[in-house]
Amino acid sequence: MDFDFLSSNLYIAYPFRDSVIVSRPDGDVDIDSLVAAIRVYTYDQRNADLYLDEVDVRSSDGFSTLDTAKLELHWSDDGVTFVLEDGVTATARVVVYGTWVVVTWRHSTEDFVFHIVFPSDAADEESSSSSPSGSSSGPYVTFRLWKKDDDILILASLVKQGPKKIKNVYTKQGSTLTKVAGPGEEFSIQPGFNMEIAQGSADDEDTGRKLTRVAINAVPGAGLGKYLICSGDEYLFTLNGVGPDDNGNLKLGPEECYWLDIPVKSGPTPIQNPDHNIASVATLESNQVRLRNACGPCCSCEDYLKAYDHLRDIWNRAKLVAARINSIRGEYASLVEQIAANQPQDDILFISQVGNQLTVQVSVWNDSTEPTTDSITITLVFNYPDTVTGQNVVQSVVAGLGDPRFPVVQDPDTDPYIEVDDELRAYQVFWWNTVWDLPGIDVDDELTVTATLSGGLEKSETEELTWADLGG
């Protein structure tokens, strides 16, 4: 991690007012390139400047921990040096962020915190023999500087001073702020009805100012107990038929453009000497909650009429298109009915003699308005004289389902059949064309062929044929 704004601080006096020469173990150098940032937090509110006299930070493990962390400072008005030393008068911590090292001192008894940020390359690395322990897990590094001739003045804007104690106590009701106690005056907080006051959780962090917290909780029956009110018209039982919960609360939940506020009885009135960002005061209506609404007309009447006329024109055109669609749909339905009327419902088989071979064509037609989803099985049954010794398939072609297909005929010597898995749309048709040799058949022999459709379609037809002498 590297921050450009920190790097830029190494070329100017910031965080100090002036560029001064300081002493280091290896000689005198300009302080600009040593420190990138400083931040000080203290309760002290004197109008004095803060000076840095010495920084002594040492680590035997590359700033993972600190062996020594000492800081000397003094204020300009008294010149008295005060020391923050880890384990003596303060607690110090170190954190490494990429190429930056951050060291924080927190005074053990006073509200005083000091942060300093310096680049890791500003630290001096020494041999392991220089380490106090002699067995460090990292390089032994030090970051040391101290005043030479000129004072090291920290910019006043980096020293954040706050009060050490409460000076004034105010109460705020609505937008009205009232002072109830000032310097030297006693202020006491006591629990009333249904209230409980206890010590809150303490702030035990090592950084920042330690705070003492007080918890004020609303607990039914605590403090002075439940508030005693007389039964009668003063008690609110329901609001529009809605009663309170177990704690006596009734929730108002406005939505969308509604909201709740408390109406103002008078004001706001500007005050002469604004304090705590309060520039005016107002008086609120007692025991009132107002329900507000921010809804308004979304457009003018003229724009509304234009939009309505435009929508009516679109609606009229849509009705014309719908009428045309209905007319076309009626014509289509009539055409489908005519096609269905002209199609033979059960005429699925055609046989003929071509030379010395028998041609069989089976028409598979979905004459319904619904598609078929199951596979269709086409079975042929031959019935011929005993002189015929068998049947041999010469050709098998399926047409009407795209490119021609050449299915293998199953059980060709007995009751031959094929299966087609394609889904047939309404009124879709395809054909199975086969050519057969009938060894031993003679002229004037009579034969019959029966075609049966099963599965997705259920149909059957039988045709007869007398064998003729075609001179082939």
- Greater confidence, 227 or 31? 31
The confidence score (pLDDT) of residue 208 equals: 54
Query: Any idea which architecture 349-466 has in CATH?
Result: Sandwich (2.60)
Q: Coil, strand or helix: which one is 324?
A: helix
**Domain spans in the chain, listed from the N-terminal domain onward:** 4-161, 169-223, 258-293, 297-342, 349-466
User: What percentage of the chain has pLDDT greater than the value 90?
Assistant: 44
Type of residue at 150: D
pLDDT category at 137 given cuts 50, 70, 90 is: low
The confidence score (pLDDT) of residue 69 equals: 95
pLDDT in tens, 299-352: 888 888 899 999 999 999 999 999 999 999 888 888 877 766 665 556 889 999
Tokens matching residue 211: 């705070």
Burial label, 298 (beta-carbon count in 10 A; 0-12, 13-18, 19+): exposed
Does residue 232 register a pLDDT over 60?
no
**Highest mean pLDDT of the ranges 24-28, 161-165, 342-346:** 24-28
**Highest mean pLDDT of the ranges 2-6, 75-79, 331-335:** 75-79
pLDDT category at 233 given cuts 50, 70, 90 is: very low
The confidence score (pLDDT) of residue 463 equals: 93
The confidence score (pLDDT) of residue 242 equals: 79
Q: What is the DSSP string of 347-364?
A: --EEEEEETTEEEEEEEE
Does residue 186 register a pLDDT over 70?
yes
Q: What is the DSSP string of 33-55?
A: GT--EEEEEES---S--EEEEEE
* Residue located via tokens 């929730």: 251
Query: Could you give the CA distance from residue 441 to residue 472 in angstroms, rounded to a whole number?
Result: 14
Does residue 434 register a pLDDT over 90?
yes
Does residue 207 register a pLDDT over 60?
no
pLDDT in tens, 257-288: 888 888 888 878 888 887 777 888 888 888 78
- Greater confidence, 317 or 211? 317
pLDDT category at 361 given cuts 50, 70, 90 is: very high
The confidence score (pLDDT) of residue 125 equals: 86
* Residue located via tokens 């007389």: 230
pTM of the model as a whole: 0.41
Tokens matching residue 188: 């006491």
- Greater confidence, 229 or 429? 429
Query: Could you give the CA distance from residue 172 to residue 454 in angstroms, rounded to a whole number?
Result: 90
